[in-house]
Amino acid sequence: MKEPVVVDSAASFLEVISSIRGQNVTLPIFKGWPSFHVEIEGDRYRGTMTPKLMLGVVEVHEQLLRAYAEIRYGSPALTRLTVAEKAELDLVFQISKGCTDGKASLDEVINKLLAALPMSKMTGAQVATFLIVAVLSFAGYHVFSEWNSSDLEKARLAASQAQSDSNARIAEKLADVIAGGSMTTEAARVRDRASEGYRAIVSAAPDADSMEIQGHHYNADELEHIRAQEPKDRVRSERREDLQVEMVKRNQDYLSLTLRLPGEEYTFPGRVELSTFDPDKIDRLFDAIKHNKPVRLFHFSVMENGRILRTAVLAVDDITSK
């Protein structure tokens, strides 16, 4: 059995993904690379974090946890994770002064994602694809843009003109993945989770003058465009249906729910605003867990690629069709 290769830079990562072939793949070990790195400029962002921005950063970590849970257990529900797994997937963020400069190492998280892959069902090419998408997405090298054919050619041209630039060469590999339509289910879900996390940071700093993610600069106008733009294949809709309630967590002003469609394996988060929800119907949510029976809910959901990402539960829907 081959000794695992250590990935500690963009250059060594490029060597690894270029060498993965066949069925018997020896997974690399990440050490000291990649990292999460976001810089935010603005009057309120000088080595400080607003409560809202803190929630945005927490969302990045939560999306990492959900990505792991989805690969490891087939469901993004955080309740599937053990206490040990949550501890092993912890991110330690460092905030620098001057601007709000946040950093965190992602090496152990990437190692955990790799360890959860169904290796017996994947080819070397699929593993390489997952690595490219997971690293570039969660490290923030490729977050918001949807590449068209022109963008793909630009990435290839930039790589050909910068042979010594490892990041450009990696972007070329990503362009090949997107152009070839070889995105695996695991890779696509990781990409969606990472995008959701970074979008939460942008939305959590509405007064930022600019933001830099892994060296890619976004000015105030570009940030506003990101906040206003819905990701591809994302729709919002009102729904009335039976839902299985897996968990309810009470907070001061709202309830956090973990929900599941009957007959589906995946779960999704829900939120109940206590200020507008009928207080007499709160017990119905807890009874649904106690009796392990679905409850009919009226909710406003965000869907992407045919799956509910999250939803706002508006009411217990007592209207039934005959």
Give CA 170 to chain center in angstroms: 20
Tens digits of per-residue pLDDT, 273-293?
999 999 999 999 999 999 999
Distance between CA atoms of 126 and 43, rounded to whole angstroms?
45
User: Which region among 152-156, 223-227, 315-319 has the lowest average model confidence (pLDDT)?
Assistant: 152-156
User: In the chain, what are the domains?
Assistant: 6-228 (no CATH), 234-316 (2.40.50)
For residue 249, the tally of other CB atoms under 10 A from its CB is 10
Confidence tier at 322 by pLDDT (50, 70, 90):
very low
Average pLDDT for residues 166-195, to the nearest whole number?
Answer: 73
pTM of the model: 0.71
Contacts of range 306-309, beta carbons closer than 8 Å, 24 or more positions apart: 307/266, 307/268, 308/259, 308/261, 308/268, 309/192, 309/196, 309/234, 309/268
Tell me the average pLDDT across 240-266.
90
Contact in structure between 241 and 296 (CB atoms under 8 Å): yes
Q: Could you give the CA distance from residue 322 to residue 315 in angstroms, rounded to a whole number?
A: 20
Q: What is the pLDDT of residue 321?
A: 40
Q: What is the pLDDT of residue 129?
A: 87
Q: Are 17 and 176 in contact (CB under 8 A)?
A: no
Specify whether the CB–CB gap between 84 and 31 falls below 8 A: no
Strand partners, 256: 249, 271
In this structure, of 142-156, 170-184, 229-243, the range with the lowest mean pLDDT score is 142-156
- Is the pLDDT at 159 greater than 60, yes or no? no
Q: How far is CA 220 from CA 41, 47, 209, 224, 228, in A?
A: 10, 19, 5, 6, 12
pLDDT of residue 210: 95
Interval 191-204 mean pLDDT: 89
**Tens of pLDDT, residues 66-95:** 899 888 887 777 778 899 999 999 988 888
Query: Residue 295 pLDDT more than 60?
Result: yes
Which tokens hold the place of 65? 């946890």
- The residue whose two tokens read 């360890």 is 115
Label residue 170 exposed, middle or buried (CB < 10 Å: 0-12, 13-18, 19+).
buried
